[in-house]
Amino acid sequence: MEDDSLTISRLRSEYSTGDRTPEQTVETVFDRIRADETNAWITVRDREAVLADAEALDAPADQPLYGVPFAVKDNIDVAGLPTTAACPAYAYEPEASATVVEKLLDAGALLIGKTNMDQFATGLVGTRSPYGVCRNVHNPAYISGGSSAGSAVAVARDHVAFALGTDTAGSGRVPAACNGIVGLKPTRGTVSTDGVVPACASLDCVSVFTDACSEALRVESVIAGFDSADPYSRRLAADTQFDPPTQDPDAVTVGLPETTGLEFFGDTEAERMFDRVCETVTAGFGESVRVDFDPFVETAELLYGGPWLAERLEAIETFVETHADAMNPIVERIVTEGRRYTAIDTFRALHELERLKRASARVFDDIDVLVTPTVGTIYTIEEVREQPMERNADLGYYTDYVNLLDLSAVAVPVGQYDDGPGFGVTVLGEAGDDPLVAAVGEQLRSMAATETATPATSTD
């Protein structure tokens, strides 16, 4: 069967040669969604409306995402479509779209609809939604990961070329790993969160799911930029570039966690896959250094064991007070834990975070990037139902610290479990290193794919 993957680069090439039209792409997208039984979507736009958008597009040369279909997580506002945050009682219809959505539409991208998620972006599992559990695209018995579950599944199922998620504790990286795609978490404040339902407003990021790191950077180049409507927005340096740098692997020093800091929760298969990644790093890059992972683990413990839970509550406090019975009970339990933190607790945690920022910065003094598992294990849907809080916490071991420490990150697929789900690693850099982590991530992904293919080739 001929490959018909909807990647940005492929679509741009076929549009330029006349081998495809945006209208044909729209028909393909809707046919795939209709034929695919999935819980990836909450709201899908009317086919005729999207076709009308396609017909109204300007010339391809004037629009960097001309005719590229995309989706957004349903905590991101789109004018004329309900925003539910996966809670029907919370739903409202915004008059204006989020800044990121407006930028994508201006760039010629075609919005298909809004995707499923863990309610109020509280969860890394993809199971906490009244719109249905999102299932892993490689084995439906397993979780998809979350909270940006539907966005990841829509890309992995090739419904759209890219999708936006959000990332506070790993929501833009965990589902990428579970489903074998790329998840880019830009530097905090690089992409506006105006028009995004907050989880923790001081930490939230809009993330990008795609098939390749270069394509994620292409999307970031469109949506990045200062936005006065977002109080956490940062001004980019005048020379900021989002093209993947030509990075000589021999010039890159890669940090790997000391083995005492690694945690796989008894999953020997995941441990073996990461061991292979470490071997790949050692052989493929200039230098690999084992680093102290304790500051990162200690920071992760602050996110759900500290006053940032109060920030989650603050974001939806009025709704919780009046509609708690309409919430997913696990989400309601987590969010209302925020009530127990005092101002003294908050300042104590902020002081501790500053200490940990210094400690983690010293780690980056000696390395260019840090490579870790994205998740240390994966669970079935039934396993998560049995222990929803504990197993969700396990999934955040390598992700919860990233936004607290103001790091850039990209999750890339590097393997696959025998049962099907994807296994990935995350390449982490300091703030502003988005192009660097993407370049190293793509190189590491390519190296891992080559090594995986070599034994199979030799036995044919």
State residue 9's pLDDT score.
95
pLDDT at 446 over 60: yes
Give tens-digit pLDDT for 174-201: 999 999 999 999 999 999 999 999 999 9
pLDDT at 325: 96
Residue 249 contacts residue 283 (beta carbons within 8 Å): no
Which 3 state secondary structure label does DSSP give 73? strand
453, pLDDT greater than 80:
no
- Amino acid letter, 273: M
Angle between helices 213-223 and 99-106 in degrees, nearest 10: 110
CATH of domain 8-223: 3.90.1300.10
**The two three-digit tokens of residue 267, written as one number:** 């999953």
| 296-318 per-position pLDDT tens digit | 999 999 999 999 999 999 999 99
User: 419 by DSSP, 3-state: which?
Assistant: coil
pTM of the model: 0.96
- Whether a cis peptide bond, with omega within 30° of 0, leads into 147 is yes
Domain boundary assignment for the chain = 8-223, 250-409+430-435
Where are any strands of DSSP class E within 59-144?
Answer: 69-73, 110-115
CA distances from 108 to 45, 59, 67, 98, 382 (A): 17, 9, 6, 16, 41
**pLDDT tens digit string along 211-268?**
999 999 999 999 999 999 999 999 988 778 887 667 799 999 999 999 999 999 999 9
Q: Residue 424: in which H helix or E strand, if any?
A: strand 422-430
Sign of the torsion angle spanned by Cα atoms 387, 393, 395, 397: negative
Q: What percent of the chain has pLDDT over 90?
A: 92
pLDDT tens for 338-384 read 999 999 999 999 999 999 999 999 999 999 999 999 999 999 999 99
Q: Do domains 8-223 and 250-409+430-435 have the same CATH topology?
A: yes
Q: Which fold has domain 250-409+430-435?
A: Amidase signature (AS) enzymes (3.90.1300)
Torsion angle of C-alpha atoms 349, 352, 358, 364, degrees rounded to 10: -70
pLDDT at 457 over 70: no
- pLDDT band with cut points at 50, 70 and 90 for residue 4: confident
User: Which pLDDT score, from 0 to 100, does residue 123 have?
Assistant: 97
| Strand-by-strand arrangement of the 407-416 sheet | 41-44, 110-115, 69-73, 162-167, 205-210, 182-185, 407-416, 422-430, 369-373, 253-257, 287-291
d(C-alpha 125, C-alpha 146), whole Å:
5
Catalytic residues: 73, 147, 171
